[in-house]
Amino acid sequence: MDTCAAPLRYCESWLVDHGRSRLLDAHAARMAASLRPYGVPRTDVLAALLALVDAVPDDGQWFPRLEWCGEHFHQRVRRLGDGAVRSTARLVTGGPDPRVQPRHKGPDFDTQDKLRAYAVQHGGDDALLVDAAGAVTESAYGSVLWWRDGALYTPDTDQVLPGITRAAVLRLAAEDAVAVRRAPIEPAALVDVDEIWLLSALHGIRQVVALDGRTLPAPSGSRRPDWQRRLTELARPAPMWRDPLTASAT
């Protein structure tokens, strides 16, 4: 697979588990919308995405990535090792969000990689980001949600990546008649909520088990096992994606 020679403008990536991908239509729609200002036709986005889908082997777990660097699409296909997909995560507060384009996936990866490296150095898996007022926005590579008194909370901001897994989880909340609320919260207050989730295309829903070195108590009656199962059930084999995605280009 070739790589971008120019700066990365945008990319999409997702989990392929033994030939099955989930929410590929949503990834295609997000990429098409993000590349529209660059004059990239939706049909070109879908063709490039389907070519990458076809390039991923049916065995094992993979994390393909489709990049746009201003002129051409580039493919990356990374095979995942054992234990790459995890059910838990540890967060370390990384400070004010330094990203320039938080609603677009790719342009700030160098900054995000440094933030995650900082978290790893301090015993975490990902860095928790905050806005200028000190309220949580998301992590370097994931959406942050939390539970309190039976309601599911999201950060009170739109300056975050429109997460595909986040949108799917909010649909599950609607299906189960769970109240969803927006609210600002500082990292120090997160230790007092009932449960914290970190969402991403790779892992799905991860239970946050530690924050800034503090181990969090295991929640009782967590919805995570059931909702993670329902997310997994959205995965379909590559041939089943071709017709819906091709049809959406017409």
**Structure confidence at residue 1 as a pLDDT band (50, 70, 90):** very low
Task: Give me the residue label for tokens 């990239």.
Answer: 40
**Residue 118 burial class via C-beta count within 10 angstroms: exposed 0-12, middle 13-18, buried 19 and up:** middle
Does residue 71 share a domain with residue 122? no
pLDDT 10s digits, 34-61 = 999 999 999 999 999 999 999 999 999 9
Does residue 72 share a domain with residue 103? no
pLDDT at 57: 95
- Give the contacts of 90 (CB within 8 A, at least 6 positions apart): 119, 123, 124, 125, 126, 208, 209, 210, 211
pLDDT 10s digits, 197-237 = 999 999 999 999 999 999 999 999 999 999 999 999 999 99
Domain range for 103: 88-232
Please state, in angstroms and rounded to a whole number, the distance separating the CA atoms of residues 85 and 98: 27
pLDDT 10s digits, 84-136 = 999 999 999 998 999 999 999 999 999 999 999 999 999 999 999 999 999 99
Q: What sign does the dihedral 16-176-135-195 (CA atoms) show?
A: negative
Stretch 166-180: mean pLDDT: 98
The answer to whether residue 20 is domain-embedded is yes
Does residue 210 share a domain with residue 133? yes
pLDDT at 238: 85
Nearest alpha carbon to residue 169 among 234, 90, 106? 234
pLDDT at 248: 65
pTM for the model stands at 0.94
Which of 148-152, 214-218, 244-248 comes out lowest in average pLDDT? Answer: 244-248
Does residue 172 share a domain with residue 225? yes
pLDDT at 3: 57
The answer to whether residue 141 is domain-embedded is yes
The answer to whether residue 245 is domain-embedded is no
pLDDT at 244: 73
**Structure confidence at residue 249 as a pLDDT band (50, 70, 90):** low
pLDDT at 7: 83
> Is 50 exceeded by the pLDDT of residue 170?
yes
pLDDT 10s digits, 6-25 = 689 999 999 999 999 999 99
Does residue 110 share a domain with residue 65? no
B/e letters for 62-74, b = 16+ CB within 10 Å, e = fewer, are bbbbbbbbeeebb
Please state whether beta strands 73-79 and 195-200 pair in parallel, antiparallel, or not at all (unpaired): unpaired
Does residue 64 share a domain with residue 157? no
Does residue 103 share a domain with residue 66? no
Residue 34 sits in a domain whose CATH number is: 3.30.470.10
Please state, in angstroms and rounded to a whole number, the distance separating the CA atoms of residues 54 and 239: 9
**Structure confidence at residue 5 as a pLDDT band (50, 70, 90):** low
Domains identified in the chain, total number: 2
The answer to whether residue 221 is domain-embedded is yes
> Is 80 exceeded by the pLDDT of residue 246?
no
